[in-house]
Structure 1
């Protein structure tokens, strides 16, 4: 007999029993209170979430998600509890036996009871954990049960794409989850057996019942593992072993048969293990496992490597051609590149006065203001009060005074955290400073002689209404924002309480009078009752909600006020573009947020790299959802924009009441929908390589492109050009439209080879067009234009003179503007004086294929490009007569007389600058002598 692990010792069992009895009541109390607290915590979260979803009008979404989570949790909980408990009690019974330790009977009884309690507790804890894991996959199960078909089959297995996007992920999850359950059960039963033997005072012995039981569990683990190889066989369409993503030659001819063999072999091994456990033959049970492991190493690892090295690598292109073609086809499908229309662009015309006059809307909308410096300007001259803030300026378009204008605008949001520390009281932060007000809006092209933006919307008028208009319109604005209050936005992170006994600050007049008011909208959850105040005090971890006398029966709490959090809570399955933008329409302000449906399960489609985008790792993306949020009420509308997207249709099947048809979006908002910059950047990045459809070219990167390089800001080096919005007339079209574009250069070379455009205006919204330059013609790229700017003697002299100590020159984005069949390059120059926290727009550089000029304004630079002011003026008059439209001014500021005066002032200023430069040079020459 094995020696007992316990030494002989004497003790009083009654004293131990007394100690345990004294602590039992505390243990029991803890076991009761902890679950009660957890349940109350869950109930509080469910209750407040239900109130919030109901207030939003989407309680059906909440109930669907909650019900799915609950069902999945209890199914997983019950399965794990039954599995673990049954195995633990079986092993406990089979490993029980006579004691060989100096323990009294009373103590043995206590230990046995404790052992039962521990088994139950361990089983419950494991069931809760693993049940929660299943519940967390609620979206996976809902997608599985509501899947829409793609109508496209994969070329390897012949399954619809929906099988890989919606079905196979469920099988993969369940396989992994079941494997974890079985392995944990094996570990728990082994640990219990060891504990039982130890408490009995005997050495651990693998008895026949215990051995057979572990063999049964092992056979289950082998069976689940073999199911994993079947899943691997199916997931070869997303293999990363070959030259391209998706099943390649070695996958098809080595791994595919290997995984099938391993799957079948695993099932056989599992059966043999089970048979061996019943027959009591350990060798029969374990020998097949060894064979299976050898097969895994040989067929699953060695054989594919051999095929790759000795068959594929020496003849890679020949072997992989078919799979390269599949990768090209499905990557273009996954990222929406298959819809790109390709055309030629001559890029050979000269920039003439006539061409300028034919494209006046394009020219007068050249974006000189970059959103980064303009945001800094807004923060200095348009915040009005220290408790407001602008997050960033967004690009959009509006019809102002009859003209289609590109603008930049930003929302003036409340920022109570900027108050002085002594003013950051609970009442101020939660009840008084509750909302921002109004917007700042500027045309993209114009600036004052001082280098500041001209405004279409600014300040906070005395009546609290924001007019949007040009300076020509006076008292007849195009848009009057009668309710410009912003309770929900980008910076509204914290909760506020409205309709309290404390009036809210609305705005401060120029005379310093504080205008206060109470909230009149529908946003917020009522907290008038004591019970709700108690619940939300707990929810927000803020006792002031419960004890403040300022909260009355009409008060409402507004939380989840930021666009991202609000939308992500309602639709957590959507990926959000990083740039929501404010829109003035229908007398108030709205936010438009582009939302994406994505998947990382699309066969053969090359995934994005982690650093390419903030949206994660995926190989399928569509901008199928446009989300609109009312800045005053917080109401959110989800509009299904792309009814051909199976992922979006699946979500619509999951939540029928969540989405509305795109036709139900108000027309004033539809006119501001734009092609999202995030999606376009992703597609443009993929198109760098996937414009090549010839497998030979693709394999050798023979026509690989790159994004152009530009100088930007105060940096001496170059950085990649980013996509940008322009208003322009596309070649072959009859009118200007809002377009996003990006030029391309050959990889490693500076000249341009083409550009990609995305259209935003109805009815052409969403169409992508690639304009390819002739391969036998040199077209300067941005990097070459930057070099020409640096080498221009007049421009270089101006930089040397002005960008000295005390002033910093900032180079804006170099924009490539296609006009007719010609290319115009534009780059704004900002100067930031020492001690001034915002830059001023001082110069405009324009370049054509043969000329680089710098002017004090866009007009001034255009005159230098064309060489004749009278020609442009005459052509403008011709266009005015033909279109009978409002007189067009290239600067867009004031009437023709004012424009003429400003042009004269600008020309005079330019001459004065030249004289100043001459005097400086003369002074330096004298000092040198």
Structure 2
């Protein structure tokens, strides 16, 4: 193949690839427009796309103009250099003469370079570089829009006395602008110098460039502009000191304020002087003078910016560090508390050493009846075995919430039965099945946190397919098209019937009645969807009609950020069943910033400000997404509301049946807890010495010690009258295992978002979670029983240890699950309860409480929920006779075997202890049989 043909073919391929890319980009853009319009957020799409594209076009155009202008200024020099150079003609020497070799008359390449062609080349180079440069601003549109729509914070930093909004909104924009201008000027300098170097090679090369006026003037002006801009950069660096990491705390310290700040001020002036010297060099024609100025600035930056601060730090600060740093430590404490709302935490004392009585248990029935005995990990396995029904159904997650059930405030655990197409049999993984037939999950499983059947399994409030309810909670729309599954897009309302749920030996089918998709009502849209999804079968299928809809972005963790990528999101969205029986996802969203001065970062990205400003709802059937402002005081969400008018609604507009289910988010709470371990100390001296640092507790999970998880519970807080839904985290002192305090975040009604820390007297011992775990391991009865179970073809799973505040005391509860080696269905078989110096293990929570506090602690049986009575349920005054007799008889047999084993081993003390426990069980058996 000839060279020209190969070049033409390559050009065709390149153009074709470019056209295909443009078509794919255009198809995706149009389909996104249709999707945003279907969700009623077209203005959000327009704002995002115009801002993103507009910013890139603007920056690319400015860079194109700058490059073209600078290249055109070199045009005269380039043409002169070309004209002054002679055509190359080969020759050789003999002893007396120079002989020129005559060659064919090939066209001289210099003659091909005309002013017009050179301008075209410069324009092409500028266009390409301008386009490439525009890609550097991708994703920066929010920085620009936030600057032009910023909101004041109403508080100022302690150094420069500027509103916090300046640092959150203005400073990032200024830094963005500075980086753009500095890099643009630098690129122009390099390109212009390269042009002069190439064209002036014949006249002396780089060393002689500045001898020619055009090059000297041009490069000097660009260099002067660069150093003028650098002066502004030093000014911005002064504000950046408020994020310094060189002191004892995050933020500007003594050295930063008394040395580095001075250095930046001096360098600001020196940069301007350097620019003036460079401009003067244009007229003085002394290149060395400009070089000296630039070298002097570099030397000053090293001495003032590096050496001088190091000297101040070593000889002024370190010998008397606390005295020097105290004001800046106070700044760090104050602003970090503001950034995480730690300054709003109410502090209360919690008495230590109080002993609960049976009367206290009775008076706090609502708390006891809502103690969570089921952990999500073992419960997810149990749900999977009992309620997934088919291989293609999957419970992605177990969530926790609370409902008013038959007049009682109950804490429940629930999960959605979502479709998992990966679990379809291999022969069923056809395009029709995956895109048209198996389109959605179906139904909900729900169980109370504390009720257990006689077999150690959960007692379901909602179960089976179609959903069967044993309470007043009904599900009228059980189909789940939008959730946490990753099955991709589906097409509904086609000629193919949608699988709804299994029914006997056959299946039930349905038709989608929602409006959550985008209609494929033309061959044009069909083609665009095929291009966008890279799925040619969309074009070939005859099942699609004009009423068919494509449902895509169905995973809510992809769907919601697609609309609002500028928000951060909680790791755990959770489903709610509203009053109409619809399934609605609730998801917490955050506004974050890494520009809050003096505040300590909470992640490796440097974010040091966070607010739970938004509650997001997603309809699991229709896919509707709504954003509600949960913290109207947050300036960042106020700014986003200005950028996207009409996107965010007031929390008052959220339906009341959903608003009653909002909860304090666990991710935010964990961040605040971590910060509070240090920033509960407000005295700079105590903070500096870390005298009262706290740590988050650990617990035993399996055989490993792991960080304790925050947990929700329903309880009556000390000093309050009504039970409420709260999130709890205990604290330990540094390097200790006892408990020093616990933090509660409230979720109900007007108290939503309020936090209270209850502190224990420092001179008294309050058992921490790991100390209770150690006591469990050291209890001979419990440890022997656990060892015995582990040796009989089953494994013991230790649930989360919960520290439950009851009145002015603490109750420790840890459930135990048994799992057979042949089955992945954990059963709740024992409950360990500790109070004061007593620790017991019983089949139910009720029996454990009776054993510690006496018969007066027995709780009345919970009201019937329309289902057959369950045996062995927590909270019963007297369990059903048959079940109670079974449990007590089994325990009696165990204690007898244990007593015999201890007798054979010569453990007389343990033998007597087992007999005493056996006597208690026999007494209970006698009482039951005599009724």
TM-score by length of 1: 0.91
Distance 1:459 1:924 in 2: 51
User: In 2, are the aligned partners of 1:533 and 1:545 still within 8 Å (CA)?
Assistant: yes
1:623 counterpart residue number: 612
Q: Deviations over 1:331-370 (max 9, x none)?
A: 0000111110000000322122111001111111111111
Aligned with 2:717 (options 717, 723, 730):
730
The one of 821, 830, 835 aligned to 1:843: 830
Taking the aligned partners of 1:889 and 1:449, their CA distance within structure 2 comes to 7
Contact kept, 8 Å, 1:365 with 1:445, in 2: the verdict is yes
Equivalent residues of 1:493, 1:560 under 8 A apart:
no
- Work out whether residues 757 and 769 of structure 1, in 8 Å CA contact, stay in contact via their aligned partners in 2: yes
2:557 paired with 1:570: no
User: 2: CA distance between counterparts of 1:36 and 1:155?
Assistant: 56
2:686 paired with 1:697: yes
Instruction: Using the TM superposition, give the Cα deviation of residue 897 of structure 1 relative to its aligned residue in structure 2, in angstroms.
Output: 7.1
Query: For residues 293 and 26 of structure 1, what CA distance do their matches in structure 2 show?
Result: 52
Which of 12, 26, 29 is the aligned partner of 1:46? 29
Distance 1:54 1:191, change over 3 A: same
**Alignment correspondent of 2:928:** none
Structure-1 residue corresponding to 2:913: none
- Residue in structure 1 matched with residue 337 of structure 2 by the alignment: 332
In the alignment, which residue of structure 2 is the partner of 1:82? Answer: 65
Which among 59, 71, 75 is matched to residue 54 of structure 2?
71
Change (3 A) 1:197 1:32: farther
Q: Residues of 1 paired with 2:747 and 2:792: CA distance?
A: 44
Across the two proteins, how many residue pairs are aligned to each other?
878
765-774 vs 129-138, which moves further: 129-138
Distance (whole Å) between structure 2 residues aligned to residue 28 and residue 238 of structure 1: 51
| Partner residue, 1:885 | none
SS in 1 for 2:833: strand
Rounded Cα–Cα distance in structure 2 between residues aligned with 1:236 and 1:283:
34
Query: 1:124 deviation in Å?
Result: 1.6
For residues 902 and 663 of structure 1, the distance between their equivalents in structure 2, rounded to whole angstroms, comes to 48
TM-aligned CA deviation for residue 255 of structure 1 = 1.1
Q: 1:593 to 1:834 in 2, by over 3 A?
A: same
1:516 lines up with 2:525 in the alignment: no
Structure 1 residues 848 and 331: alpha-carbon distance in aligned structure 2, compared to 1, 3 A threshold: same
The aligned counterpart of 2:181 is 178
Q: CA deviation at 1:467?
A: 4.4
- 2:586 aligned partner: 592
- Give the match for residue 914 of structure 2: none
What are the ranges of 5 or more consecutive residues in structure 1 without an aligned counterpart?
1-17, 470-476, 611-615, 881-887
Pairing 1:208-607 to 2, within 5 Å after superposition:
208=212, 209-461=214-466, 466-469=467-470, 477-509=471-503, 511-585=504-578, 586-607=580-601
* 1:745 paired residue number: 732
Contact 2:351 2:760 in 1 (8 A): yes
Which residue of structure 1 lines up, in the alignment, with residue 144 of structure 2?
141
| 8 Å Cα contact 1:369-1:444 kept in structure 2 | yes
Q: Tell me, in whole angstroms, the C-alpha distance in 2 between the residues paired with 1:833 and 1:605.
A: 50
Structure 2 equivalent of residue 912 of structure 1: 893
C-alpha separation in 2, matches of 1:806 and 1:620: 51
The question of 1:769 aligning with 2:774 is answered no
Closer/same/farther in 2, CA of residues 910 and 117 from structure 1, 3 Å limit: farther
* Aligned ranges 1:74-223 → 2 under 5 Å: 74-96=57-79, 97=81, 98-102=84-88, 104-110=106-112, 118-197=121-200, 205-206=208-209, 207-208=211-212, 209-223=214-228
The worse-fitting range, judged by mean Cα deviation, of 42-51 and 812-821 is 42-51
1: CA distance between counterparts of 2:343 and 2:872?
A: 40
Give, in angstroms, the shift of residue 302 of structure 1.
Answer: 1.0
1:609 lines up with 2:603 in the alignment: yes
Checking the alignment, whether the CA contact within 8 Å between 2:39 and 2:624 is kept in structure 1 is yes
Q: Over aligned residue pairs, what C-alpha RMSD do you find?
A: 2.5
Residue 708 of structure 1 is matched in structure 2 by 697
Matches of 1:736 and 1:903, distance apart in 2: 30
TM-score by length of 2: 0.90
1:698-757 residue CA offsets vs partner (Å, 9 max, x unmatched): 000000101122111x22x32221111111110011111111001111010111111000
* CA shift in 2, pair 1:892/1:584, >3 Å: farther
Partner of 2:925: none
Once the two structures are TM-superposed, the CA of residue 408 in structure 1 deviates from its matched residue by 0.9
- 8 Å CA contact retained: 2:568, 2:592: yes
Q: CA contact under 8 A between 1:100 and 1:201: conserved in structure 2?
A: no
Q: CA–CA distance in 1 between the matches of 2:2 and 2:118? A: 18
The answer to whether the aligner puts 1:662 opposite 2:651 as a matched pair is yes
The 3-state SS of whatever aligns with 1:602 is coil
Deviation at 1:773, TM superposition (A): 0.5
Residues 1:639 and 1:227: Cα distance change in structure 2 (over 3 Å): same
Corresponding residue for residue 473 of structure 1:
none
Q: Return the alpha-carbon distance in structure 2 between the equivalents of residues 815 and 50 of structure 1.
A: 49
SS at match of 1:531: helix
